[in-house]
């Protein structure tokens, strides 16, 4: 039970009628809570420099309800203390055995409300900092850690309020910690993995990553135990942090979110390479998904078996824009090459067959000189 100090004598002597004093205390606490709530609302409405996402706005809006309830509960506890100290009404409280539990309940309610408010303030403060143009960025794992810390602190306060002796629990804490360590080693490994991923700055919420098994998607949440990824097929993948910490992860959004795409282009031998480059750069200017900076480039890669091989390098503003940008470029290349009479080659193979006459001739034995010439011809073809 929470011990409330006795009231000063000058308060008790204010009235010989304790119920009037109690009524005044309750009315005053309600009015005070209303005044503070009205003042906070006016402050938020009149402060133009505080946006709804600013830290000041979040703080004032977050403490309104806990402060309102705390003042009213304080008035109730003060009223009970007045009734207990006034000699004319001791029987009112002495005959009610549930009063200590009622006081503990009210105190516990205030503690829980403030814990809930601080959890919300911490979460929204992290979101405000991450949304602002700041060099600092907090991972969602800190939001979860902040929540766990406040729950532990609140649990400690509740144990003190209800006067629960935890000495037997502490006596068996050694054995309990060993049992929990063995049972929750995977969870502990995931927790350590999540913290390591944050300090290594491997990825953040909103980044596009590629897992070791080829899965690709956007990071939607980084929790204490696992990381959630949303693929382009709208499928949610949950990966334990310990797995991510021990495997290769490609972050396509770092150090910058834009990504370079490579589009292979082939043309027939005899095509003017300058004309090909000019057409491809013009197509990049016509494609809205292609960024102007960095400037697109056309690279002459190699002389292929049946074609000249080029590669177009260009940048898109998001990794997921790559398929659409490649599609638009390929469509435009096909149309422009067709209008410019530029041939897009494809592999061709020649098949030769022998007639009966050729077959009879092949069955005729060759001389030593003819065999030597055939051998030299085959060797030249193999090396050349």
pLDDT in tens, 228-259: 999 999 999 999 988 888 888 999 998 888 99
Alpha helices, DSSP H only, in 5-89? 9-12, 18-46, 55-85
Q: How far apart are CA 6 and CA 86, in angstroms?
A: 10
Whose tokens are 């590669």? That residue is 311
Give pLDDT, residue 51.
61
Residue 220's alpha-carbon distances to 117, 193, 226, 229, 250, in angstroms, are 25, 17, 11, 6, 16
Report the alpha-carbon distance of residue 240 to residue 103 in Å, rounded. Answer: 44
**Two tokens at 287?**
């494609």
Q: Is 354 exposed, middle or buried (0-12, 13-18, 19+ CB in 10 A)?
A: exposed
Q: Where are the domains of the chain?
A: 9-164, 201-251, 256-384
Contact in structure between 253 and 208 (CB atoms under 8 Å): yes
Q: What is the C-alpha separation between 357 and 353, in angstroms, rounded?
A: 11
At residue 87, the pLDDT reads 47
CATH among 2.70.70.10, 2.40.50.180, 2.30.30.60, 2.160.10.10 for 201-251: 2.30.30.60
- The residue written with tokens 């995977």 in the block is 186
Residue ranges of the chain with per-residue pLDDT less than 70:
1-17, 44, 46-54, 85-97, 130-141, 169-174, 180-181, 183-184, 352-368, 370-372, 374, 377-384
Structure tokens at 87: 């000699």
Peptide bond into 334 cis (omega under 30): no
Q: Which residues pair with 227 in a beta bridge?
A: 222, 239
* Exposure string for 41-53, b = 16+ CB within 10 A, e = fewer: eeeeeeeeebeee
CA 12-14-20 angle, to 5 degrees, is 90
CATH classification number, 256-384, choose in 3.30.420.40, 3.30.70.100, 1.20.200.10, 3.40.50.2300: 3.30.70.100
**Beta-carbon contacts of residue 255 (< 8 Å; ≥ 6 apart):** none
Please report the pLDDT score of residue 77 as a whole number.
87
H/E segment holding residue 208 = strand 208-210
Q: What is the pLDDT of residues 274-331, one digit of tens each?
A: 999 999 999 999 999 999 999 999 999 999 988 999 999 999 999 999 999 999 999 9
Residue count (the chain): 384
């Amino acid at each position: 039970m929470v011990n409330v100090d006795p009231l000063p004598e000058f308060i008790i002597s204010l009235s010989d009628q304790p119920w009037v004093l109690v009524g005044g205390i309750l009315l005053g606490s309600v009015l005070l809570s209303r005044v503070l709530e009205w003042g906070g609302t006016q402050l938020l409405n009149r402060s133009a420099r505080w946006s709804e996402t600013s830290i000041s706005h979040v703080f004032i809006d977050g403490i309104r309800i806990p402060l309102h309830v705390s003042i009213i509960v304080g008035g109730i506890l003060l009223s009970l203390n007045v009734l207990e100290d006034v000699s004319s009404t001791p029987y009112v409280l002495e005959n009610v055995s549930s009063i200590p539990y009622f006081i503990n309940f009210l105190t516990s309610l205030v503690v829980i409300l403030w814990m809930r408010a601080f959890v919300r303030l911490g979460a929204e403060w992290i979101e405000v900092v991450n949304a602002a143009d700041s060099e600092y960025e907090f991972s969602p794992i800190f939001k979860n850690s902040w929540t766990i810390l406040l729950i532990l602190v609140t649990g400690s306060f509740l144990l003190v309020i209800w006067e629960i002796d935890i000495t037997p629990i502490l006596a068996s804490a050694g054995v309990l910690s060993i049992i929990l360590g063995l049972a929750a080693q995977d969870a502990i490994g995931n927790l350590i993995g999540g913290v390591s991923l944050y300090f290594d700055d491997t990825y953040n919420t909103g980044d596009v990553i590629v897992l070791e098994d080829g899965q690709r998607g956007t990071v939607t949440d980084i929790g204490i135990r696992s990381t959630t990824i949303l693929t382009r097929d709208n499928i949610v993948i949950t990966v334990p942090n310990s797995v991510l910490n021990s495997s290769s992860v490609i972050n396509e959004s770092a150090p910058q979110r834009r990504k370079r795409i490579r589009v292979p282009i082939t043309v027939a031998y005899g095509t003017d390479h300058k004309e090909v480059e000019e057409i491809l750069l013009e197509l990049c200017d016509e494609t809205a998904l292609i960024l102007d900076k960095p400037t697109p480039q056309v690279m002459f890669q190699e002389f292929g078996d049946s074609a000249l091989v080029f590669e177009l390098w260009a940048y898109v503003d998001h990794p997921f824009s790559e398929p659409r940008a490649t599609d638009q470029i390929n469509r435009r290349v096909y149309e422009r090459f067709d209008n410019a009479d530029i041939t897009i080659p494809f592999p061709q193979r020649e098949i030769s067959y022998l007639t009966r006459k050729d077959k009879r001739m092949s069955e005729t034995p060759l001389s030593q000189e003819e065999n030597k010439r055939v051998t030299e011809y085959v060797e030249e073809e193999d090396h050349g």
